[in-house]
Amino acid sequence: MTGNYTLMMVKPDAVRNGNAEAIFQEIKKHGFEIVAQKKLQLSRAEAEAFYVVHKERPFYGELVDFMISGPIFAAVLKKENAVPEWRTLMGKTDPAEADEGTIRKMFATSKGENAVHGSDSNDNALNEIFFFFSSREIVAQSGIVQLNDIIGRQPE
C-alpha cells in the first residue's frame, strides 16, 4: 500500500568510507525490508535531474558534484509508514543536530556529506523509486510488489 515504501541512497562518502554494509544492517535491524537494491554511479545529468527541486539553492552545484564523486547504493525500503520511519532513523540533515542512534549521527560528517538520503513525502518516494528501478526489480519476501501497492491506485 502507498505509504509503505521509500527510496533511500547510501551517498558517496559512506560508500567510500566502507560504511554501506553497516548502514544496511541498521536498516534491517529496525524492521525495514529491502525490496530493491543496486550499486551505481550517477552521471552529472542524472544527479542534476534527481535534485532538480534544489536547483535554485546555493548548495546545488556542490551537491551534484558530491553525488557524482563516487558510487552510491539506491534501495527501496518497505515498512508501514516508511517515509517518516526512515527519516527518523536517518536523523537530521546536519549530523551535529542528529539524535544519538541515528544513521547520520553515526556515519555523516557534514550537512553536505551526510551518508544517506530519504524521500520526504509519499509522492516523492514514488518518483524517486521509479527514477532508479523498474517495477520488476522491486521484489518483497511476499513476491513482486504490484505497482498499485506503491502508487495507491490502479496504473492507467
Residues in contact with ligand CMP by CB under 6 A are 54, 59, 62-63, 93, 111-112, 114, 117
Which CB atom, from 96 or from 139, has the smaller least distance to ligand CMP? 96
Q: What does each C-alpha distance from 147 to 2, 136, 139 come to in angstroms?
A: 10, 9, 11
Catalytic residue among 9, 117, 125, 126: 117
Got the DSSP string for 54-119?
GTTSTTHHHHHHHHTSS-EEEEEEE-TTHHHHHHHHH--SSGGGPPTTSHHHHH--SSSS-SEEE-
Position of cell 533511500? 8
Which CB atom, from 121 or from 146, has the smaller least distance to ligand CMP? 121
Minimal distance, residue 122 CB to ligand CMP, in Å: 16
Which CB atom, from 63 or from 138, has the smaller least distance to ligand CMP? 63
Active site residue 54: no
Question: Catalytic residue numbers?
Answer: 117
